[in-house]
A and B are shown apart, each in its own frame.
Chain A
Amino acid sequence: MFIWVEIVLAAAILAGIRLMSTPETAVQGNRLTALSLLTAIVLVLWRNNILPQPIIVVSLAAGAVLGLVLALRVTMLQMPQMVALLNGLGGAASMFTAIVALGDRSDAAAFADQVTGGLAVAVGGVTLSGSLVAAGKLHRILSQQPVRIRLAYRLVVAGFLALLFLAPLMRSQASGVELTAWMPALGACALMAGVVLALPVGGADMPITISLLNSLSGIAASICGFVVDNAFLVAAGAIVGASGFILTRIMCGAMNRSLAQVLTGATAAGTVPDAAYAGQKPVETETATSPAPPGPESVAGKEAADRAPFDPVEALIEAKSVVIIPGYGMALGEAEGQVRDIYELLESRGADVKFAIHPVAGRMPGHMTVLLADVDIPYDKMVQIEHINPEFPRTDVAIIVGACDVVNPAANTAVGTPIYGMPILRAHEARRIIICNADTRPGYSGIENPLYNQDNVVLLLGNASSTLEQLFKDLSARASEKTGNG
């Protein structure tokens, strides 16, 4: 009888996700999924007669309130680390649940329970520590640079092997004592594995790691369903696992990198010859997209004048079609508001303005669309890479805001570099290009961007929010001048 209710609830989750495939119905979809989960919780409370246990009811309420407060206070800018943090909590819950479920029947735990319980502890632990490290990196508590930790890697593998070897011993003695020692050891090993997994990952690879951890949190929940014998839990966890898997694959494809390359930190820092950095002070991999300390205005102005083959203000005033390309630098410089102002000004002058979205721009899947939606940019103005690329040759002006690698034409030509073969936004084909980046240093990949030396490019270097602010002021002055004259 309950199995049918569970099937209906699982179907409701799938229907909810189906609704999430268009922006118009997505809000209802999310609410349907939430309702399905809520029903499942009430069902479990009622079926197991849990309500008379105050500690459980209080925990449930406390968690709900805490989650609510957290969710209402977080800003859209903090979203990547919020998602990572919540992910980690889910993993922790799965890990603890498996320990509790097994701990209680440790004396007579069946072999199958030990296996599934062990798996839940392992996957949950990796999710927990991996997500916390990722959240720390995104919140800039931890360095975003890729770190290579070979020794730790080997230690973790050795730890898992040792535990696997000890497992049959534990089983043959079949007393709770060994199990109680073995499980925490496994948990500790899993936590270390999570750190080893997330620590080597540099900033621009974050979307891949986040997606992978998302998948793992679902799988951990699903395995927990095996441990406590709950089919709905198995199904819901599996759906999350599949979702994370799809996102991971899409993100890897968008960077033309394999998961293994990302997880071992075999990126810019590892593959670019050190000579490339010779004579420079230690290069922070993020530099190309991070806001430089706001330097004197004249420096940015001079830089632009030196290379300027055209006046950016004139070009934009005359432009019929404009494509804006946001990157992580827009998020760092908090320049969304200025981008919106320029967008609205140009649209009001009759220009066709679009936003080009690269799948891995930013720090999580879809990061740029959330930031743009946050400043009221309509979603039908955000165009994905495959649809915007054919339009660049017809584009009068392309404005790049804090993006480097995703517009680097070297991706098509520089064989053997980390970005070779990576699909890029073909901004270099636009008639004129305005680049609002912090500096001209290479992006995360460490590969020089030949775009900076193109003749039809104007560089407005500095913090994107201040350079765009200035550009907006000049534009509005010029625009009112024009309307005043004509």
Chain B
Amino acid sequence: MTSVRLVRKTVSTSAAYVLLLALSFTILLPLGWMLTVALKPDFAPVFTQPTQWFPTGDWHWENFGRALTDPSRPFLRYTMNTLVIVALNIVGTIISCSLVGYAFARLRFRGREFLFGILIVTLLIPWHVLLIPQFLMYFKLGWYGTILPLVVPAFFGNAFYIFLIRQYIRTLPRELELAATVDGCNHFQVFWHIILPLIRPVLAVCVVFSFLSSWNDLLGPLIYLLRNEDYTVAIGMANMVSRANPKLNLLMAANLIMMIPAIVLYFVAQDKLVGGIASVGIKG
């Protein structure tokens, strides 16, 4: 009896591992192929039979440097441009969303619950409707062709991050805040000295998501940026594909460079990222 069960369990466990390994290879092999191509010399055959999934003979690491400094598409420039946008988005998001999150979590004012309801409703609005009127507004303001439309809104809060921060603050015990109030702290001092240090974990989640969404964004830069020297990595990559006969090794090297920050962030903050994505789908 028990031996039959043991055999069965062994078989199903092995089957699970075989499946898991097969699926993992499906994820990793395309990335391996990309690295292989990125390390090849110029004009070397890329579409070989059979496919070379992992680099074997060629190790042209200088391709990454060449991809970054290629004069026709200055990738280093694109990277710097993107990092400026990313940094401003993170700073703006953290400042505005933590202040607003604190107000909704702790400070009692008239209409608070009503406004919080509106905040939830704004999460539901498909942003397609906002594209055209926002563009016309920024155009009238003279912001077309600058990074302002891509960074200024971050300083005015984001409903989803405010929601996350507000939920997090509500789980914190109030004793410290009450003690600080008794000691004569005003609301800003309570926020600065008590709340801000305590909500670092949820702020980290916001930083990670804010980084990824502005680093990966294509539509926004595509609408608002006009000059090649202002382009972000996403536009640079997207426009390179359509060009006839680009050097595939440099294209793949550039593509890897675009993926690396996200991959590094993923390995540093995997639990926060996965937890953040999961929290969107389940209650709480």
Chains A and B come from one and the same complex = no
